[in-house]
Chains A and B, each alone.
Chain A
């Protein structure tokens, strides 16, 4: 990417995507608070979407320009802007843009729209901060900044019992997980005397007590597993995704998950390098291997038995967390393909950001049309909404990993990396889980395309925003089949720089 190298970004300019996003969140809030009753929906949605797209544009520009190849460290290294941070920022912002565009129709007739947009933007700010966090304290603050708006967003439909209940569950489990995570941080601090991620790695030689460190790491794994909705900390996810407004389900299951993974990658790869940890007798990879296997298997098995499409997607999203966990599980001290494994996980999060967001936004559209949630309710939908059904089929086919889009590549690279590192069994379980997933994705396709529509199936209107978001996501998903090269390059570079 060196040929683009015309930018001379200074340290603070490197924060532009983050600052723009935070500024937009506040701006949206200000606009709404001037006259909450008559603020135009177009104005506030336009501000939110415009700010996010601008921030996304900055991120894309930085990525293409190679900003981040030498990391920018800010605030005594508490924040870092490197390729990894920009890559995940790009994923988070892409998802946020799609979700905001899709939300326009979804919240059109609801109250508190200003708060809705501000909360989404604030949560996104938190997720971007997670991507840039370089100190355990920043990680925690960013995590909370992302989580608190999310709790409110899940319960946004406050006259809907499911939504409120989901919000409450999400909040309670989130609070407990945060506490566990924070306790883990304190133990790690006690053992190593440092909170900065790179410094922790440096102080591993004179750890006070391996036992304390080990327990700290285990608790942090718990916190990460919660945030990424990995088994066994996944119980909140189907409830929260099902109860939440569908665009928020999209947001949480794609962006929030990507952000959760980036802190996992940074903490475990950077702060606890494999070689040093093996010397200390703490092999955290094994924990991730167990997590990856049970998450892939349980997520996909549970998805296969659902009758409710939203729950099916929720469980499939858990299954996908399992694939991404391979990024940590298949790292090895001796393997030569570590950057391919970790890069593969980053690639998967990237493609997943589009295909999963698109799939949930499709559900947002069916909710907007007041179509039910069981598979039968989707019968014959293709006769009424062929274009949206094509887009949804694209997402489903890619989630399953068939080679009609980027979903194939990311899964392939991930599994190939695992095989190259000697984890044939992990790849085999992943492949088997993928094969199983085809069953339930095909079930939805069958309902949409092959079944006869119910007699009274008619769609009231054409929600423009949702259509734009869904088609954009589908086009990107398909285009990634041909144009996967840059994504793969960036992801592998980001992974390699983290592993170095």
Chain B
């Protein structure tokens, strides 16, 4: 019942914070959010990694609960069905930690309607934990959509000057995508004639039993599978986001307040890649393999194009935002490789990018709090005035570039190792795609160093009326926590990589699923 407890704590806490006076809301939310952190770390320490969410025997997955939720006229049942494996557990831990840090980082910038803000953040946390834990499609979908509502308000109410535009764009993009995905998955299940929306059963039927969906006379099984694959792919690709459906992301990022950007880049984008792994790449591996080259092209284009866009930006936050597009491209490349290192590295990259992008957004946020500008052209020599924050910013940037002993290096190394050796899926083109994607690192280093050189170094100069002083301790502390985690995972990737590969193994060709 640990998962239920985590979700319940967040929901009850969310209500409590909503009811609290604005002055105490931030502290109260921080206190509440520590409980899920402790809970998820306890789960992490007692975790039994032998299970996979989509394996046949449900008892093998950790923290498993399954209760009948709704039965519909004997036609099918919908269950409350949750559990965690080596892929989802690290994401839950990431969610709880980042939420707490995001709450702390919100203390300075959020100065109105605090109780609503923190209430929504905790509600968001509950939904995110649910997304990673749910094993029934409907339950999962409920959480998936529940993420949207707080996000809409968090961007729309507390965001920057174009917040309404950004919030609505995000809402419409991802909601339409969800509908397409929903239709795709439901068509697949109806076609299979299953009496449940259990994800494991669907995966079993498709992969182990080789069942072919057979929905209507006017569509043959293979076409339906391809349709379902691409409907789901389209839905998740928007969330990831993959070029060319990425345009909502920079707007959302730039307009969102810092703590929301942290959660958006750190956790929300992972929903897309996580769902791709769980649904598309696990359930329909044959379709994925058939279209592997196409998907790999999407991945590489996202990597290169996202990086090029970042290179062209003048706004620090926009630079970090576009770099997310690029980083998530690596994840797709790792997934399509269908090797232990590829898929495992992709999952590792989800965690690593969550930490690093969180760090970068927070650092940009702290600089913005002090200077009230994010434009590269408006400032120079910030290192003189904010040495600590700037130091952490540089360290985070090095993580982004993939310097050894930082988690980014481990993640990208695994992915490249995996995709280079991806003989089955993308075949002889694997080295080419890998090489192209690796070139992305050069651009990343380029735009980060270029931006840092202009803003952080040189003589101090600031083109606003604000006097830059030391950042408050509670602004800087989360940065240290994140940097510590980044280095920890960089030095000892096996802390999570082992459990990831345990869960990834059965999904691969020749595995159990």
Contacts and interface: CB of A to CB of B under 8 A. Distances in A.
A481 B142 contact: yes
B511 interface: no
Contact of B157 (A402, A449, A484): A449
A386 B119 CA distance: 13
A435 B145 CA distance: 14
B224 to A, nearest CB: 12
A438 B72 CA distance: 26
Interface stretch (B164-172, B359-367, B374-382, B414-422): B164-172
Contacts of B142: 403-404, 408, 481
B179 interface: yes
A384 B72 CA distance: 42
Given A424-B216, A449-B156, A450-B164, A488 B146 contact: no
B457 interface: no
A431 interface: yes
A312 interface: no
Interface string B115-147: 010000000000000000000001001100110
B71 interface: yes
A442 interface: yes
A108 B113 CA distance: 33
Given A402-B149, A446-B156, A450-B156, A431 B72 contact: no
B167 A404 contact: no
Contacts of A488: 70-73
A446 B72 CA distance: 35
Interface stretch (A3-11, A32-40, A337-345): A337-345
B146 A446 contact: no
Nearest to A344: B72
Interface string B188-211: 001000000000000000000000
A215 interface: no
Contacts of B73: 337, 339-340, 343, 488, 492, 496
A393 B120 CA distance: 14
B146 A442 contact: no
B70 A450 contact: no
A406 to B, nearest CB: 11
B88 to A, nearest CB: 20
B: interface residue count bin: 20 to 34
A431 B71 contact: no
Contacts of A449: 153, 156-157
A412 B217 CA distance: 23
A420 B153 contact: no
B175 A438 contact: yes
A492 B71 CA distance: 10
A485 interface: yes
B70 A409 contact: yes
Contacts of B225: none
A416 B183 CA distance: 11
Contact of A386 (B68, B70, B116, B168): B116
Contact of A340 (B69, B72, B113): B72
Contacts, number: 70
Nearest to B180: A435
A419 interface: yes
Contacts of B148: 402
A489 interface: yes
A485 B156 contact: no
Interface in A425-455: 431, 435, 438, 442, 445-446, 449-451
Contact of B70 (A343, A420, A435, A485): A485
B163 interface: yes
A500 to B, nearest CB: 13
Contacts of A413: 72
Q: Which of B69, B71, B72, B167 has most A Cβ within 10 Å?
A: B72
A404 B146 contact: yes
A397 B149 contact: yes
A383 B22 CA distance: 13
A94 to B, nearest CB: 20
A209 to B, nearest CB: 38
Interface in A285-327: none
Contacts of A496: 73
Contacts of A340: 72-73, 75
Nearest to A383: B113
Interface string A351-387: 0000000000000000000000000000000010010
Interface in A448-485: 449-451, 481-482, 484-485
A383 B116 CA distance: 10
Interface in B218-250: none
Contacts of A485: 68-71
A435 B183 CA distance: 12
B164 A446 contact: yes
A471 to B, nearest CB: 13
A484 B164 contact: no
Contacts of B149: 393, 397, 402, 404
A403 B153 CA distance: 17
B436 interface: no
B140 to A, nearest CB: 10
A402 B216 contact: no
Nearest to B216: A424
A109 B153 CA distance: 37
A488 B179 CA distance: 23
A408 B146 CA distance: 12
B69 A446 contact: no
Interface string B39-82: 00000000000000000000000000000111111010000000
Contact of B141 (A386, A393, A403): A403
B258 to A, nearest CB: 19
Contacts of B179: 431, 435
A484 B145 contact: no
Contacts of A409: 70
B217 to A, nearest CB: 10
A492 B72 contact: yes
Contacts of A386: 116
Interface in A161-179: none
Contacts of A438: 175
A393 B146 CA distance: 13
Contacts of A435: 176, 179
A494 to B, nearest CB: 11
Contacts of A481: 142
A449 B75 CA distance: 41
A482 B79 CA distance: 11
Nearest to A400: B175
A229 to B, nearest CB: 27
A474 to B, nearest CB: 13
B238 to A, nearest CB: 15
Contacts of B68: 485
Interface string A117-142: 00000000000000000000000000
B71 A420 contact: no
Nearest to A491: B73
Contacts of A419: 190
A446 B172 CA distance: 13
Contacts of A416: 72, 186
B120 to A, nearest CB: 11
B283 to A, nearest CB: 20
Interface of A: 337, 339-340, 343, 383, 386, 393, 397, 402-404, 408-409, 413, 416, 419-420, 424, 431, 435, 438, 442, 445-446, 449-451, 481-482, 484-485, 488-489, 492, 496
Given A403-B142, A413-B72, 11 more contacts: A337-B73, A339-B73, A340-B72, A340-B75, A402-B149, A420-B190, A435-B176, A445-B152, A488-B72, A489-B71, A496-B73
Task: Give 9 nearest A-B pairs by CB, closest first.
Answer: A492-B73, A450-B156, A403-B142, A485-B70, A403-B145, A450-B164, A340-B73, A484-B70, A402-B145
22 contacts: A337-B73, A337-B75, A340-B75, A383-B113, A397-B149, A402-B148, A402-B149, A403-B145, A404-B142, A404-B146, A408-B142, A413-B72, A416-B72, A420-B75, A438-B175, A446-B164, A446-B168, A450-B153, A485-B68, A485-B70, A488-B70, A496-B73
